[in-house]
């Protein structure tokens, strides 16, 4: 086989790679849209048959230097329409006024509290408690150990059989906790549930309800909105049909505390602690042949801030990709293993080829394509049309996922909003996607050099207001 034949074969592999991804994207969007229609028609969970929601939940909020957003987050939690729950804020060695603001605003008082569990975590310095509008609020001040360490500390202090983890820069709707608990009421053996993450930039929330919403004006924010819609309302709903989700976003997830304790809690040595815990739960229950399900609930909505600069997007996506690499490497035994069912022969390969190895394959594909064109091995006109069709198909899928979400959640959008979304879809394909690609390539180099750090992104005190 000569060089030209090798290049020709590689080029066809790249074409097949993109074709498979496009097929999966199309299938997931169609499947997700059908699932959203079922939910919209109230056929997903028989709400009337569930009875009163009476599962006590501990809401854990790890926080590090979150003075700008922590009060808004706690206010949204206090406003939840739920019978029995507690709020536990874990101040992870903040150097700002995160803890001081909570103590002053809610009149929290120092107390002595014994640990309920014994997951490893950094030493706890102080514990403050108080009651805010009938809801017990606990503030844990501990030495810095990272998000996973803070969640372990929160689990140790929590009193209830289920816990909800969320980010300190996120806010919940009044019905979010009720919605995410419904699968636990409807089905047996549910050990975890993930919710829908939506972008609060451009939205105004008051008393746990969205009172004003518009499509973000900021192009980078808008492109991330489309990406979130495509992920949370496409692939996750599709994989949910087969109990095949490997990720529950760390910004909003409900877990059975007993199950998490059985697997040893959150791993403190991973930048993807949320994905690591889900994969660990899958592995534990599969290996021990215990029945379980991990659900995804798009009706449970969490609103979060997203980066607004190229620098912050780059840093965030690099960290996400390093975390994904760590998790896939750690649980490599899932690969094509029939013991793991759909996880082994579908979910894991998907994340391996279309997430982990995607930057290598995509960059190599571009260089090989250019090389084959120089050598006149492949028809240039054909390749140009192929890539144009691929990119515009991606644009179409992004807009379709957005419209499916708009329909299912009864969101009003104007014609001007639709035009803006179309523009953002083009910007995402031809600009934001390359930022993410560069971040993933950087993550591969940092992973090899073992350079792992969380980093941070700029926060806004009023994220719903766009300047």
Amino acid 387: pLDDT: 81
Q: Which residues pair with 297 in a beta bridge?
A: 195
Q: How many CA atoms lie within 13 A of 283 on its CB side?
A: 18
What pLDDT was estimated at residue 467?
43
If one counts every other C-beta atom within 10 angstroms of the C-beta of residue 242, the result is 12
pLDDT at site 461: 52
Find the length of the chain. Answer: 467
Are the C-beta atoms of residues 200 and 209 closer than 8 Å to each other? no
Asked if residue 334 lies in contact with residue 350, where contact means CB atoms within 8 angstroms, the answer is no
State the alpha helices, DSSP H only, in 409-455. Answer: 415-427, 433-448
Provide the pairing of β-strand 252-256 with 124-132. Answer: unpaired
Name residue, tokens 């150097």.
Answer: 95
Q: Please tell me the distance from the alpha carbon of residue 54 to that of residue 239, in angstroms, as a whole number.
A: 28
**Pairing verdict, β 57-63 and 162-166:** parallel
Give pLDDT, residue 150.
Answer: 96
Report the side by side order of strands in the sheet with 57-63: 109-111, 124-132, 135-142, 85-92, 57-63, 162-166, 252-256, 190-199, 293-304, 170-172
Decide: 197 and 304 in contact? Cβ < 8 Å. yes
DSSP state of 278: H
β-strands 190-199, 252-256: how paired?
Answer: antiparallel
DSSP H or E segment with residue 361: helix 358-374
The tokens describing 337, both together, are: 């293993």
**For 64, which DSSP code?**
S
Q: Which pair of tokens denotes residue 432?
A: 């934001």
Q: How far apart are CA 461 and CA 421, in angstroms?
A: 26
Q: Dihedral through CA 226, CA 231, CA 237, CA 239, nearest 10?
A: 160
Residues of the chain with confidence (pLDDT) below 70: 1, 39-52, 408-411, 449-467
373-387 CB burial, b ≥16 within 10 A, e <16: eeeebbeeeebeebe
Q: Decide: helix, strand or coil at residue 128.
A: strand
* Structure tokens, 388: 């144009």
């Amino acid at each position: 086989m000569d060089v030209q034949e090798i290049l020709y074969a590689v080029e066809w592999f790249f074409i097949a790679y993109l074709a498979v991804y496009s097929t999966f994207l199309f299938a997931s969007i169609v499947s997700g849209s059908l699932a959203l229609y079922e939910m919209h028609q109230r056929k997903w969970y028989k709400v009337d048959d569930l009875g009163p929601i009476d599962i006590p939940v501990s809401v854990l909020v790890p926080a590090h230097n979150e003075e700008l957003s922590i009060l808004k987050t706690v206010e949204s939690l206090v406003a939840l329409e739920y019978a029995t729950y507690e709020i536990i804020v874990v101040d992870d060695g903040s150097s700002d006024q995160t803890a001081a603001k909570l103590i002053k605003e809610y009149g929290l008082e120092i107390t002595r509290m014994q640990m309920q569990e014994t997951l490893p975590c950094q030493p706890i310095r102080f514990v403050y408690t108080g009651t805010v509008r009938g809801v017990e609020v606990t503030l844990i001040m501990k030495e810095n150990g990272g998000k996973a360490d803070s969640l372990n500390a929160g689990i140790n202090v929590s009193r209830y059989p289920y816990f909800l983890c969320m980010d300190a820069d996120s806010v919940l709707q009044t019905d979010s906790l009720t919605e995410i608990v419904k699968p636990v009421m409807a089905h047996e053996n549910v050990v975890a549930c993930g919710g829908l993450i939506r972008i609060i930039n451009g939205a105004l929330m008051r008393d746990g309800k969205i009172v004003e919403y518009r499509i973000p004006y900021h192009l980078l924010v808008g492109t991330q909105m489309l990406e979130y819609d495509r992920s949370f309302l496409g692939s996750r709903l599709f994989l949910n049909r087969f109990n095949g989700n490997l990720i529950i976003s760390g910004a909003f997830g409900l877990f059975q505390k007993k199950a998490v304790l059985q697997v040893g809690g959150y791993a403190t040595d991973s930048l993807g602690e949320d994905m690591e815990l889900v994969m660990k739960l899958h592995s534990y229950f599969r290996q021990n042949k215990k029945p379980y399900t991990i659900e995804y609930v798009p009706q449970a909505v969490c609103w979060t801030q997203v980066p607004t600069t190229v620098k912050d997007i780059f840093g965030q996506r690099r960290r996400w990709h390093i975390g994904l690499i760590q998790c896939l490497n750690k649980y490599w035994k899932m690969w094509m293993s029939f013991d793991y069912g759909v996880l082994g022969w579908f979910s894991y390969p998907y994340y391996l080829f279309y997430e982990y190895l995607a930057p290598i394959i995509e960059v190599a594909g571009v260089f090989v394509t250019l090389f084959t064109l120089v050598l006149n091995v492949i028809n240039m006109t054909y390749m140009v049309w192929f890539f144009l069709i691929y990119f515009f198909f991606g644009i179409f899928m992004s807009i379709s996922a957005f419209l499916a979400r708009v329909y299912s959640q009864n969101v009003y959008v104007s014609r001007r909003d639709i035009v803006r979304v179309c523009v953002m879809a083009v910007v995402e394909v031809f600009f934001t996607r390359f930022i993410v690609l560069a971040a993933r390539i950087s993550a591969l180099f940092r992973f090899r050099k073992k350079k792992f750090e969380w980093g941070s992104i700029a926060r806004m005190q009023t994220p719903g207001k766009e300047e």
